[in-house]
Amino acid sequence: MDWQLFGLTFMTVFLAEIGDKSQLAAIALGGSSQSPKAVFFGSVIALILASFLGVIAGGTLGQILPTRILKAGAAIVFALMALKLLMAEEN
pLDDT tens track for 64-90: 999 899 899 989 999 999 999 888 876
57, 74 Cβ separation under 8 angstroms: no
- Give the pLDDT of residue 20: 81
38, 29 Cβ separation under 8 angstroms: no
Q: Degrees (nearest 5) of the Cα angle 2, 8, 12?
A: 145
pLDDT tens track for 14-67: 888 887 888 888 889 999 989 999 999 999 999 999 999 999 998 999 899 998
Q: Record the pTM.
A: 0.67
